[in-house]
C-alpha cells in the first residue's frame, strides 16, 4: 500500500500536539484540511487511527504509522540535510525506564543532540522488562531494556548494570527491627513504582525466600521513591547513583548492607535506523560506561 506522507506527517503532528487545531497551526493549513487528510488516510487503511480527545491519542496502528513518518523524516535528513533544511527539527522516539531517565541517560541525549543539531527526543517511560515491547510493535526507534535478546530487525548493545539498593530511613529500619534484631522484611511497608514493577519482590525473594508480599505503597515516580524512603514511608529499591549522598550522610540506610540488586541493561535499536541514529547509540554507550556497573 502506497501511503501519502503529507497525511502521515499530519497524523504524527496531531498525536504529538494532542489536537487537530494545534496540528493545523503548526503545519500552516486549515483545520478542515487536517481533518480531510486524516479522513482519507483512515479510509485508506480501513480503520481508525486517532482516538478523538482531548487530548487526541493514537490507536495501535495510528501510533505505528506516526512513528514510521517520523523515522522517514529522520532518514531524509540523514541522507542530505539540504533536502529538508538543516533547521527542520527531527524527532527520535525512545522507550526508557524511569530510573535510567533520572539517573544517567539525559547527558547522552544532550551529547547526541550536539552531534545532530536540531534533533528532538520523545521518551516513552516503561518498566525495563517491558520497554522492548515498544520496539517490537514498531512504536519507537530504540529502547533501554533489561532484555538481552532484541526483537526481529533490531540490534542489541549491552550497557552494564544499574545498581539498586534496598533503602529506607534509619528510623524506619529501627522500627522494623522490633525486638528480633533483624529486619522483619515481609512485614515492613514497601514502595512499588507501578503494577509492572517487580524489583522489590525480586530482591525480597532472594534475601528472605518466597512469601507473601508486604504492604505496599504505589508511587510512580523515581523522585517520590527517594522522598518516600527519606520520609520513613517505606523501603524501596533506589538507584545507587541517585542516593549516594543520602547514604554517605546517613539520611538513608540499607535494609541489608552489601546486598545490592544489579539489573543488566541493553540498548536495542531498529537496524534500519541504526546508521541514522549512530551518534545517539555512541552517546548512550559512553554514558552507560561512565554511570553503570
CA distances from 60 to 18, 64, 131, 179, 252 (A): 16, 6, 16, 54, 42
pLDDT in tens, 171-228: 999 998 865 656 789 999 999 999 999 999 999 999 999 999 999 999 999 999 999 9
Cα-to-chain-centroid distance, residue 131: 7
78: pLDDT strictly greater than 80: no
pLDDT at 81: 47
133: pLDDT strictly greater than 60: yes
State the cell numbers at 293.
556497573
The pLDDT score that the predictor gives to residue 85 is 46
Find where cell 515516580 sits. 221
Predicted confidence at residue 179, as pLDDT, reads 54
Taking only the tens place, the pLDDT of each residue in 254-276 is 999 999 999 999 999 999 899 98
pLDDT of residue 180: 62
Q: Which helix (H) or strand (E) holds 224?
A: helix 222-230
For the cut 50, the answer to whether the pLDDT of residue 165 exceeds it is: yes
Amino acid at each position: 500500500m502506497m501511503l501519502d506522507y503529507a497525511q502521515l506527517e499530519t497524523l504524527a503532528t496531531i498525536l504529538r500536539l494532542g489536537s487537530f487545531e494545534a496540528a493545523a497551526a503548526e503545519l500552516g493549513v486549515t483545520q478542515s484540511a487536517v481533518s480531510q487528510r486524516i479522513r482519507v488516510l483512515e479510509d485508506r487503511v480501513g480503520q481508525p487511527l486517532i482516538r478523538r480527545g482531548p487530548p487526541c491519542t493514537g490507536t495501535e496502528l495510528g501510533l505505528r504509522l506516526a512513528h514510521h513518518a517520523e523515522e522517514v523524516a529522520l532518514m531524509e535528513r540523514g541522507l542530505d540535510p539540504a533536502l529538508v533544511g538543516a533547521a527542520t527539527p527531527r524527532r527520535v522516539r525512545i522507550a526508557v525506564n524511569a530510573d535510567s531517565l533520572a539517573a544517567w541517560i539525559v547527558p547522552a541525549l544532550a551529547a547526541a543532540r550536539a552531534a545532530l543539531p536540531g534533533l528532538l527526543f520523545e521518551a516513552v517511560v516503561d518498566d525495563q522488562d517491558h520497554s522492548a515491547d515498544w520496539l517490537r510493535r514498531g512504536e519507537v526507534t530504540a529502547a533501554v531494556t533489561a532484555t538481552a535478546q532484541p526483537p526481529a530487525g533490531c540490534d542489541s548493545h549491552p550497557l552494564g548494570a544499574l545498581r539498586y539498593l534496598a533503602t529506607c530511613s534509619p528510623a524506619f529500619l529501627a522500627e522494623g527491627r522490633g525486638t528480633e534484631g533483624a529486619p522483619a522484611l515481609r512485614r515492613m511497608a514497601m514502595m512499588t513504582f507501578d503494577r509492572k514493577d517487580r524489583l522489590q519482590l525480586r530482591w525480597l525473594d532472594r534475601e528472605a525466600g518466597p512469601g507473601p508480599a508486604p504492604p505496599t505503597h504505589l508511587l510512580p515516580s523515581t523522585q517520590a521513591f527517594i522522598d518516600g524512603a527519606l520520609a520513613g514511608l517505606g523501603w524501596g529499591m533506589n538507584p545507587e547513583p541517585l542516593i549516594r549522598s543520602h547514604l554517605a550522610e546517613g539520611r538513608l540506610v540499607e535494609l541489608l548492607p552489601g546486598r545490592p540488586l544489579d539489573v543488566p541493561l541493553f540498548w536495542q535499536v531498529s537496524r534500519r535506523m541504526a546508521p541514522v541514529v549512530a551518534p545517539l547509540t555512541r552517546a548512550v554507550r559512553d554514558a552507560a560506561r561512565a554511570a553503570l556497573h
